[in-house]
């Protein structure tokens, strides 16, 4: 059987490199002062991309046993990724409540709902990859759709650092951040639609990720700026971080278990039954 998305591991590694470039000013250049939630988020996101790269590399070389063994790491990395995402959301909510950061005062409430949709989509794709693991095309597409959720935010930072007209040099340029968010999302949508055009038979995951990224931008511009959402988001920060982290991890674990059990186990072979 010819495997789809050959050499996808190269692109996963390229996304890691792009992410380091994107978040160098705000995170990687100041690791010593960054909050632990950001470390957890960075480590788990990087580990996830490395897992995807390893999975792609192993299946490209016909190492099915290794591919299956490595794949079980999804039950560890997805819950940990959600734990890290919840920690980042919590720290941003606290910063919003303090009112001391001009960037957060402008953008953290809409970013909060943007990231919430992204985290939920990440979990959904992991669950669907397990549920459809016997359909090679869809299984691969669900997994490879997850980096597109990371590409938008990362490219947004790259655009703010290097794209003329969107470069942020100080607080006076913070309003430009809105357009980099949408341009980064649009780039990810275009990639998703291009992949769908090349893999239409089992390419529904690419349409789903494109729709969810559009939803992120829509909610960023609408609900994200409402007083009700802002108040709810600030209240989110009043609950302890361990409670959020535990809840996120438990929800992720339960959802993944459902995805795994959604299809019956393969029947034992006659030879195995006779033994």
Q: Is 124 helix (H, G, I), strand (E, B) or coil?
A: helix
pLDDT at 211: 98
pLDDT at 62: 87
More confident residue, 131 or 2: 131
pTM for this structure?
0.92
Q: Which stretches of the chain are DSSP H helices?
A: 8-22, 36-60, 64-71, 74-98, 102-131, 136-162, 177-198, 204-221, 227-236, 241-261, 270-274
The domain containing residue 30 runs over which residues? 8-251
Residue 35's pLDDT band (boundaries 50, 70, 90)? Answer: confident
Q: Is 33 contained in some domain?
A: yes
**Digit-coded pLDDT (tens) for 179-215:** 999 999 999 999 999 999 999 999 999 999 999 999 9
What are the distances in angstroms from CA 146 to CA 12, 33, 96, 109, 244?
A: 10, 28, 28, 23, 22
Q: Is 265 contained in some domain?
A: no
Q: Is 262 contained in some domain?
A: no
Q: Is 77 contained in some domain?
A: yes
Report the 10 Å Cβ neighbour count for 213: 28
Q: Is 274 contained in some domain?
A: no
Asked if the model's pLDDT at residue 273 lies above 70, the reply is: no
Say which residues have a Cβ less than 8 Å from residue 186's Cβ, sequence separation at least 6. Answer: none
How many whole angstroms separate alpha carbon 198 and alpha carbon 121?
22
pLDDT at 275: 45
Q: Is 86 contained in some domain?
A: yes
Q: What mean pLDDT is reported for the chain?
A: 91
Q: To the nearest 10°, the Cα dihedral for 129, 40, 149, 125? A: 20
Q: Is 47 contained in some domain?
A: yes
Q: Is 275 contained in some domain?
A: no
Which residue bears the tokens 């597109």? 148
Task: Give the chain's domain count.
Answer: 1
């Amino acid at each position: 059987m010819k495997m789809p998305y050959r050499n996808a591991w190269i692109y996963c590694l390229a996304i890691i490199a792009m992410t380091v470039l994107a978040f160098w000013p705000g995170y990687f250049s100041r690791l010593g002062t960054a909050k632990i939630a950001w470390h957890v988020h960075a480590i788990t996101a990087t580990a996830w991309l490395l897992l995807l790269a390893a999975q792609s590399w192993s299946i490209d070389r016909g190492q099915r046993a290794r591919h299956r063994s490595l794949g079980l790491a999804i039950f560890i990395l997805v819950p940990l990724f959600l734990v890290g995402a919840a920690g980042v959301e919590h720290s941003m909510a606290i910063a919003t409540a303090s009112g001391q950061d001009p960037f957060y005062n402008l953008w953290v409430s809409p970013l909060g709902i943007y990231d919430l949709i992204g985290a939920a989509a990440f979990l959904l794709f992991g669950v669907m990859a397990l549920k459809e693991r016997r359909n090679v095309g869809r299984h691969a597409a669900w997994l490879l759709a997850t980096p597109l959720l990371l590409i938008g935010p990362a490219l947004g930072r790259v655009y703010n650092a290097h794209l003329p007209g969107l470069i942020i040099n100080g607080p006076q340029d913070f309003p430009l951040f809105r357009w980099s968010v949408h341009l980064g999302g649009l780039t990810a949508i275009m990639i998703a639609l291009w992949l769908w055009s090349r893999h239409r038979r089992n390419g529904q995951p690419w349409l789903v990720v494109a729709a969810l990224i559009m939803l992120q931008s829509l909610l960023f511009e609408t609900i994200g700026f409402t007083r009700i959402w802002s108040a709810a988001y600030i209240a989110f920060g009043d609950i302890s971080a361990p409670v959020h982290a535990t809840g996120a991890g438990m929800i992720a674990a339960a959802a993944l278990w459902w995805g795994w059990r959604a299809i019956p186990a393969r029947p034992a072979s006659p030879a195995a039954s006779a033994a």
